[in-house]
Amino acid sequence: MGKHRYRMTEVNNVNWQLIGEYADKERVVFGIDVAKEKFVGALMNADRSVIQTVKWRHPEQTRELVADLQKHLEPGSLEAAMEPSGTGSPARLRVRRFSRSRGERRNSESAWAVT
């Protein structure tokens, strides 16, 4: 069985207008894979179909990512989920400030869901 390959888009090349159009109609879920520097996130619609997969360098581009989310999505239209990690904590805090609510919960897979 071969590897599953998918396209990742650099954060500065994301079609944020398209993401915003999805968010106007339904909730957008942002699943984030945390690493030391190279983060990857899948922006998905409510049925978990991937709209766009984004990559960025943390911490250098995290502010840019959050600024783009704030510019193109209404507060409360984004739900973010990421694994528990000391590396991802600053990113979690930035995304949480913008996501659906201020609460943070731990789900059964031991990942942090910012909802």
Q: What is the pLDDT of residue 98?
A: 59
- As a whole number of angstroms, the distance between CA 61 and CA 74 comes to 21
Question: How many domains are contained in the chain?
Answer: 1
Q: What is the pLDDT of residue 79?
A: 86
pLDDT value, residue 7: 87
- The domain that contains 14 carries what CATH number? 3.30.420
Only one residue has tokens 């944020």, namely 16
What pLDDT does 113 receive?
Answer: 40
Give the domain range for residue 42. Answer: 9-114
Helix spans in the chain (H): 16-25, 62-72, 89-98
In the structure encoding, which two tokens stand for residue 65, read together? 């990512």
In a domain, 2, yes or no: no
Residue 39 lies in a domain: yes
pLDDT value of residue 27: 87
Number of Cβ within a 10 Å radius of residue 71: 9
Going from the first residue of the chain to its last (115 residues), give the mean pLDDT of each consecutive group of 10, the final group possibly shorter.
Answer: 73 93 90 88 90 93 90 86 66 60 42 39
pTM (two decimals): 0.72
Please check whether residue 1 lies inside any domain of the structure.
no
